[in-house]
Structure 1
Amino acid sequence: MVQIMPLNDHWIFTKTNNPTYVFESIQDGQSVTLPHSWNDTDGQGGSEKYFRGQCWYQRILDISHEDLTKRIYLEIGAAGNMGHVYVNGNMAGESRCGYAMFRVPLTPYLKEGGNLITIMVDNGYDSTVFPLMADFTFYGGLYREMSLLVMDEVHFDLMDNGRDGVYLTQRKISPETFELDVHGQIVNESSVLKEGSLQIQVRDEAGKTVLEASSELALGNEAKFSIKSEVANPILWDGVDQPYLYTVEVSVLSEGQVCDSRIIAIGFRTVEATTEQGLLLNGKPVKINGVCRHQDFAGVGNAITKTHMDEDMALIREIGANSLRLAHYQHDDYFYSLCDRYGLLVWAEIPFISIPSTKDPENHNAEEQLEKLIKQAYNHCSIYCWGIQNEITIAVETEQTYKTIRKLEVLAKHLDPNRLTVQANINGVENNSIINSFTDLIGYNLYYGWYYGEIKDLQDRLDEFHRAQPKIPIIVSEYGVDTNPKYHSYTPQVQDYTEEYQLLFHQNALETFDKRTFVLGGYVWNMFDFGSANRNEGGETGKNLKGLVTIDRKIKKDAFYLYKAYWSKNPFVHLAGRRFVNRHQEHNDIVILSNLHHLKVYLNQTLITEINSREPMKIVKDVSLIAGENCVIVEGTDEYGVIHTEEIVLHHAAEIDRNYIHVKPEKEKNVVNWFEKFDLSNAETIELRDGYFSTFDTIEDLYSNEEAKAVFLKYFEHVTNNPFFEVTKDVISIEKMAQLTFYNIPPELIPVINKELNAIQK
């Protein structure tokens, strides 16, 4: 039988990059316990510069004479973003998928006694390993748990890029019956042909056996198996309302002994997507009330524990979400298991994000990451769709981009024909773009009212999409605004980072989704603030502040309770604005977020109003405050007569509290309106000549010619130190730059530049 031994202790770590550590002991290293990340602070705005590069981990592994008769594997939860494993100076294995589990066979390199295990981990830039660029920190480290697997000679395949070596496929074949296909591969490392058998037991939650099946096998080097059985009238896994799980135990026996076994949870369910009724779970319409989640946590980065994951799940369940987009990469297997257990539908995806590779135009690493994601997470019934790209057209949209997306979709269907495929497009992808025909579902990341446009433009865009694509189910895969809970305003406005603006933004989004059946739902960006090392925004460095909860999980922003009021069935009342304590206006609106319908509101022990309303957000207008302290209390009565209360204290101040106002760093006028020094009065479009440079050429192509490069720098030298520019210049063109709001390029500048570039012969 397999033995699984944790291998998280007694590691020595160093940032000193010395290749001799392959075979020599690390000197003056730091003792660490896994999970571990070296970007636990600098990746979230700490005082030190964000470090990306090669670091080393090392420990001694003691092996007995008896151990050497077994087959020993090292299971590494993840190495961000690349890992190389050495045993006694020998290269034993590697990973170029920074969010996937990988295994390394150790037996060929082991000796009796102490063995030097050295792992080089690298989170530096590699133009063939995804993600290449993204708005989140690329944490380095061995940031998930590690185990030693000691196996018999006969065992389920550990090296097929999967997790269990056993794959469970459930499929409804009649109104009352599901087919269960148990398939996979058994490996025999003994070089002796053996006879064996496969045994399957399916048990319900009470432990009662509901299905047994077996098959005789000839165990050569590799033995594939597939056993199909029927399960009549199973209790369905029905999302958050009834996340019922069966247990499947699969065992391989030889010579009367169990050589290896797996115990895997499974839920029986069907998922369909329609534009008429939305998403159907077991034939019933379910509006996706979803949030996105990044996995990092304050002070530890990606090196989170099961305790961190349990806390995240508790907060997600508190607001009543029924779905999760686990962005933008493969998450810890334990978290997918939590989603199975609590009934949350999961969009799982790979980090094929922002820009494709130009060094490897076929983007092989995206395929490798997709294969590992699907094979390793295949048995989780919570996963309803595989995400194959996120905003991959942000810098370039070409036939090669289309080819890669199509290829990933075909691979996903080959590996798992029973689940849906999905992609998340940047808003600039046209409604009628061919990209929208590639996957079963289409997501759009829409930030109207934050990065562009106005809040109300969200409704118009969704209606326009539906008119253009009436048969394509659409999901709003991201929407949100950066919010620092210390900022507040009576007149919230875009880019003021206040809790009040976040409330307005999300209220509009929720109403928009509810009124449109063709919108499957949406995923809030994001459930939690997360590390983004290159950011300096909203009064914080190194963080994206779009979360409903702060990165340390200590502050639930008011918008958290807005979602709870819309989605949760657990009765509660919440008074918004509790951090907006110092009020300089006498008359104030009191905002109440609650899923209760009958409320009483008191000011300084005096009942000022009673409310009977089913609206999740209830507003008491123009409440007059007295000078000094004011106590506001709300009482809500639920259907059982239980009273729920909330209290806040507001201070009526004589003057505005300027601590509530985000003071944006002053930008030089010549940067904001950098184009004013150019003459745009004669901006006439010209007919472009073949064989000459233009704004359609990539920046890298322009840089290949000194004259063309000089033209580019004449207009855009001020952007060349931007990290985004550095990693996109080999794929982005001036035409594409003009579509991105942060470059602030006026349309009339393009023909002016073309007149100069199109005079330069290639």
Structure 2
Amino acid sequence: MFKKSAALLLINLLGISLLLQAQTSKRLINNWEFVKEDLGGVWEAVRPVKAGNPEEMPYWQKVSLPHCFNATDAVDPDVNYYQGPGWYRTNIEVANPYTKGRTLLHFEGAGQKTQVYIYTTKVAEHVGGYDEWTADITDAVEKFKQSPLFKGQFKGKVPVIIRCDNSRDLEMIPSSLSDFNVYGGLYRYLNLVYTPQLSADKLFAHATVDAKGALGKLSIKARLFNPDAVKEATFKISVTDPNGKVVADWNKALPTFQGDELLWETSLKSPKLWSPDAPQQYEVKLSITANGETSVMTEKVGFRNFEFVKKGPFMLNGKRLLLRGTHRHEDHAGVAAAMTEEMIVTEMKLMKEMGVNFIRLGHYQQSRIVLDLCDSLGILVWEEIPWCRGGLGGPVYQEQAKRMLTNMIEQHYNHPSVIIWGLGNENDWPGDFTEFDQQKIRTFMKELNDLSHKLDPSRNTAIRRCDFCRDIVDVYSPSIWAGWYRGDYTEYKQVSLDEFNKSDRFLHVEWGGDSHARRHSENPDNALSKIKKGGGADERAGDASLYGGAARVSKDGDWSESYIANLIDWHLKEQETMPWLSGTAYWPFKDFSTPIRPENPVPYVNQKGVIERDFTKKEAFYIFQSYWTTTPMVHIYGHTWPIRWGAEGEEKMVKVYSNCDEAELFVNGKSFGVKKRNSQDFPAAGLRWQVPMGKGKYTFKVVAKKGKITVSDEIVQEYQTDKWGKPAQMTLEKIDEKDGIATLEVKLFDAQKVLCLDAVNLVAFGLVGDGELIKDQGTSTGSSKVQLYNGRALIKVKTNKGKSVVSVQSKGMPTVFLNLN
């Protein structure tokens, strides 16, 4: 099944569990230095520097890993993000405990082209920013230890120098036309690994079970690392069930082997099944003993049976399961791609809290930490390679795509969560090359499809939005953006059915729309009156642009959370009445940075997430919860909407999202009655009240019941009846300070000092003095340039216990200043 030449073993792949064993692996996190530019050569990173010499160039900054070149510049509204080389250096202690053992550097991901040096000796290089790879540094380390520099200048440590480069390159995937940043740096963990003379390189544990769950089968294949070192070894395998009980084992002395070898097959009666509700995992442990030394590799597997029914729904373990999904980019405020394990755990748990049982990892192989969490939390996975937009390159380009597909499948083969290998995204989108040949794209897509099925016949293949290739893959997702890039969201079901009828196996990934966090609207659906209906709901050329073309909500709407709440609500209630639907995935879970959207309300941010880039929940999060979760919850819409507006005595809709059977609304302590939940009663599943409002403050409280369980929620809002005119002036004031962080708020008023609650002006913050603006976070409250939300915007300042002057500017308005002491 899997074949590799011995020549590739020096930069081969390592099994997950070997790297996680404390006695053989160590994350190299601290004591790194970095420079964001190119050097004349590796010598400039290691040359001796005299103490106090001011002429050393360039300037190295201290960093820790993971680290991304573009931690902040990806969302800096005033620059294009950096694409080019950067260098890292550190000195490490190397003390391999194994006789004739191998010493390795294992990269969990580095962007995008990487070269590795021990002192000035290049030991490995890799192209591709998302797959894992390994550099064998054994010989170079031993050679350096013989040098007088080892005990002299480097004081018993070994210099490690790494060059990463994310420069634009048409013959490399992903395309820079993609709607996400092609990041640079050591943005995933780097591990120092010690192995015995002979160890396992990969363990392929294939677990299957029939649809009734009666009989499970497990086959174990292995690939050796450094198999030429010894002639024979003893192999032991044990299988432990989810309760920690050993349920099967095997051992045998065998000659060492090249390539992949089937070691053992066994059966288990009525294994505990893996599912989103009960993600039961078995542990497979492989021990290899040679010359008195033992290496151990463990993998987790799960027994589950899945099927995308032809012209039908998705089945898991013999029962229909509606895939309730979202998407993920590896991107976060302040760090970009360099998310720590703690950040990733927080994000994935938030998805599960929202009710997700499926995720498409867009648009590249993601961290092993993500896949492990999908396994343990119970989230089914579509993972894909970054062949995304731009067309099709030449032999170098195509070889990289095949290599990355191979690596992705081999590295994530054992994860029970994975059900789909994605081969591409929007491959009907030209631009990088003078030639755009649909037939050549079809030919290459067939090659990828065949390769995927050869490497792993047990999973399906899929692509999104390339209609002329829909017949090649197992599962197809067309473009359906009802109510955003085209059409009205009420057309969603019919458009989906039309597309379902065109494909054997249909799965709808990518739907939704942008929302500027904290922006709300009293009339969010106004833009729909401008929209042409009946013309489909696909995104077409130029639809993502804010200029030109036909009317569409993405261009002509208000980008409010209120509108997206209605769009999501409609989609979710319809999905409950589509028995043929396999599932969907909302795009995406979290706002993320992108180089092609500089004029968005938060510049350079795709704002379609249900949470912001710093984990702040938008209102949409709770709408999904109300449809997708069972633990009782209730949420009044408008927690970030401090002031509503309208005429005196006008009735305003108060919406409540809940999965409870019924809810009662109280307004300033007075009951407005009990409503029963009905998912088909749009909006808010019938949990909505018309409340006559007058100028003043309102406290809204809801009490919801599900069986004997009661939950509640409460918000306070002002109601403004004064009408405003043209924006004319701004104010800037400090509204909070805690732990040295001051929160500032700008507001926009008309000439009569009436707050302009529909103002969307772009404002720009500046600062001089001791403090620092907390900016370049890519959030509604963390950008130096941001569109207002309902006539206001927030930003935070790190005061540094000093004096500062903060300014705010907006075109056509007098600049305002605020002294911070």
TM-score tier (shorter)? 0.7 to 0.9
Looking at structure 1, the residues matched to 583 and 305 of structure 2 have their Cα atoms a distance apart, in angstroms, of 18
Query: Which amino acid in the other structure matches residue 481 of structure 1?
Result: G
Question: Is 1:16 the equivalent of 2:37?
Answer: yes
Looking at structure 2, the residues matched to 361 and 564 of structure 1 have their Cα atoms a distance apart, in angstroms, of 45
Question: Is 1:141 the equivalent of 2:185?
Answer: yes
In structure 2, what is the equivalent of residue 671 of structure 1?
none
User: Aligned match of 2:256 in 219, 222, 225?
Assistant: 219
Query: Which amino acid in the other structure matches residue 560 of structure 1?
Result: F
In structure 1, what is the equivalent of residue 328 of structure 2?
293
In structure 1, what is the equivalent of residue 163 of structure 2?
120
**182-191 vs 472-481, which deviates more?**
182-191
**612-621 vs 95-104, which deviates more?**
612-621
Query: Which amino acid in the other structure matches residue 403 of structure 1?
Result: T
Summarize the Cα distance change of 1:178–1:270 in structure 2 as closer, same or farther, 3 Å threshold.
same
The structural deviation recorded for 1:32 is 0.9
* 8 Å CA contact 2:110, 2:187 repeated in 1: yes
In structure 2, what is the equivalent of residue 410 of structure 1?
450
Please list the CA deviations of residues 275-319 of structure 1 after superposition, one character each: whole Å capped at 9, or x if unmatched. 455111111100010011112110000100111011101210111
Looking at structure 2, the residues matched to 519 and 397 of structure 1 have their Cα atoms a distance apart, in angstroms, of 33
Looking at structure 2, the residues matched to 217 and 66 of structure 1 have their Cα atoms a distance apart, in angstroms, of 25
The structural deviation recorded for 1:543 is 0.6
Please list the CA deviations of residues 357-394 of structure 1 after superposition, one character each: whole Å capped at 9, or x if unmatched. 43448622111111111111111110111111111112
Please list the CA deviations of residues 469-518 of structure 1 after superposition, one character each: whole Å capped at 9, or x if unmatched. 4xx12111101111012322222132311011101211222233322222
User: Aligned match of 1:52 in 75, 83, 96?
Assistant: 83
Question: Is 1:156 the equivalent of 2:192?
Answer: no
Please list the CA deviations of residues 574-605 of structure 1 after superposition, one character each: whole Å capped at 9, or x if unmatched. 11123333222132111111111211111111
User: Aligned match of 1:484 in 511, 516, 538?
Assistant: 516
* 8 Å CA contact 2:374, 2:381 repeated in 1: yes
The structural deviation recorded for 1:22 is 4.9
Looking at structure 2, the residues matched to 362 and 661 of structure 1 have their Cα atoms a distance apart, in angstroms, of 47
The structural deviation recorded for 1:221 is 6.3
**453-462 vs 101-110, which deviates more?**
453-462
Please list the CA deviations of residues 367-424 of structure 1 after superposition, one character each: whole Å capped at 9, or x if unmatched. 1111111111111110111111111112246101101111111111111111111111
Summarize the Cα distance change of 1:141–1:188 in structure 2 as closer, same or farther, 3 Å threshold.
closer
Summarize the Cα distance change of 1:600–1:377 in structure 2 as closer, same or farther, 3 Å threshold.
same
Query: Which amino acid in the other structure matches residue 128 of structure 2?
Result: C
The structural deviation recorded for 1:209 is 0.7
The structural deviation recorded for 1:651 is 2.6
Summarize the Cα distance change of 1:258–1:40 in structure 2 as closer, same or farther, 3 Å threshold.
same
Equivalences, count: 646
In structure 2, what is the equivalent of residue 676 of structure 1?
none
Query: Which amino acid in the other structure matches residue 568 of structure 1?
Result: T
Question: Is 1:575 the equivalent of 2:619?
Answer: no
Summarize the Cα distance change of 1:73–1:286 in structure 2 as closer, same or farther, 3 Å threshold.
same
* 8 Å CA contact 2:109, 2:131 repeated in 1: yes
* 8 Å CA contact 2:237, 2:249 repeated in 1: yes
In structure 1, what is the equivalent of residue 288 of structure 2?
252
* 8 Å CA contact 1:573, 1:646 repeated in 2: no
Summarize the Cα distance change of 1:371–1:512 in structure 2 as closer, same or farther, 3 Å threshold.
same
Please list the CA deviations of residues 166-192 of structure 1 after superposition, one character each: whole Å capped at 9, or x if unmatched. 011012269521110110122345644
Please list the CA deviations of residues 716-737 of structure 1 after superposition, one character each: whole Å capped at 9, or x if unmatched. xxxxxxxxxxxxxxxxxxxxxx
Question: Is 1:662 the equivalent of 2:662?
Answer: no
Alignment of 1:390-409 (within 5 A): 390-395=425-430, 396=436, 398-409=438-449
Query: Which amino acid in the other structure matches residue 123 of structure 2?
Result: A
In structure 2, what is the equivalent of residue 669 of structure 1?
none
In structure 2, what is the equivalent of residue 40 of structure 1?
71
Looking at structure 2, the residues matched to 189 and 170 of structure 1 have their Cα atoms a distance apart, in angstroms, of 26
The structural deviation recorded for 1:216 is 2.3
Question: Is 1:528 the equivalent of 2:590?
Answer: yes
* 8 Å CA contact 2:460, 2:475 repeated in 1: yes
In structure 2, what is the equivalent of residue 749 of structure 1?
none
In structure 2, what is the equivalent of residue 422 of structure 1?
462
Looking at structure 1, the residues matched to 211 and 351 of structure 2 have their Cα atoms a distance apart, in angstroms, of 35
2:494 partner SS: helix
Summarize the Cα distance change of 1:245–1:22 in structure 2 as closer, same or farther, 3 Å threshold.
farther
Structure 2 unaligned segments of length 5 or more: list them.
1-17, 48-55, 151-156, 431-435, 528-552, 725-754, 764-821
In structure 2, what is the equivalent of residue 642 of structure 1?
710
In structure 2, what is the equivalent of residue 180 of structure 1?
218
* 8 Å CA contact 2:694, 2:721 repeated in 1: no
User: Aligned match of 1:335 in 354, 367, 370?
Assistant: 370
Q: Share of identical aligned residues, percent? A: 25
In structure 1, what is the equivalent of residue 537 of structure 2?
none
* 8 Å CA contact 1:181, 1:228 repeated in 2: yes
Please list the CA deviations of residues 86-139 of structure 1 after superposition, one character each: whole Å capped at 9, or x if unmatched. 222222111211011110010121222343221110111111211012101122
Please list the CA deviations of residues 628-655 of structure 1 after superposition, one character each: whole Å capped at 9, or x if unmatched. 1111111111212434333332333423
Question: After TM superposition, what 4+ stretches of structure 1 lie above 6 angstroms from structure 2?
Answer: 65-68
Question: Is 1:509 the equivalent of 2:553?
Answer: no
Summarize the Cα distance change of 1:507–1:641 in structure 2 as closer, same or farther, 3 Å threshold.
closer
Alignment of 1:58-457 (within 5 A): 58-63=89-94, 69-110=100-141, 111-112=144-145, 113=150, 114-132=157-175, 133-157=177-201, 165-172=202-209, 176-188=214-226, 191-193=229-231, 195-219=232-256, 224-239=261-276, 241-255=277-291, 257-275=292-310, 277-360=312-395, 363-395=398-430, 396=436, 398-425=438-465, 429=467, 433=468, 435-457=469-491
The structural deviation recorded for 1:446 is 1.9
User: Aligned match of 1:590 in 644, 651, 654?
Assistant: 654
In structure 1, what is the equivalent of residue 15 of structure 2?
none
User: Aligned match of 1:550 in 583, 607, 612?
Assistant: 612
* 8 Å CA contact 1:538, 1:662 repeated in 2: no
Structure 1 unaligned segments of length 5 or more: list them.
158-164, 666-762
The structural deviation recorded for 1:336 is 0.5
1:439 partner SS: coil
Looking at structure 1, the residues matched to 260 and 404 of structure 2 have their Cα atoms a distance apart, in angstroms, of 25
Looking at structure 2, the residues matched to 453 and 662 of structure 1 have their Cα atoms a distance apart, in angstroms, of 24
The structural deviation recorded for 1:609 is 1.8
In structure 1, what is the equivalent of residue 673 of structure 2?
609
Summarize the Cα distance change of 1:45–1:349 in structure 2 as closer, same or farther, 3 Å threshold.
same
Query: Which amino acid in the other structure matches residue 623 of structure 2?
Result: L
Please list the CA deviations of residues 21-73 of structure 1 after superposition, one character each: whole Å capped at 9, or x if unmatched. 25642753011110001201111235544111011111123345978942111
In structure 2, what is the equivalent of residue 730 of structure 1?
none
Looking at structure 2, the residues matched to 341 and 550 of structure 1 have their Cα atoms a distance apart, in angstroms, of 25
In structure 2, what is the equivalent of residue 465 of structure 1?
499
Looking at structure 2, the residues matched to 626 and 35 of structure 1 have their Cα atoms a distance apart, in angstroms, of 53
1:438 partner SS: coil
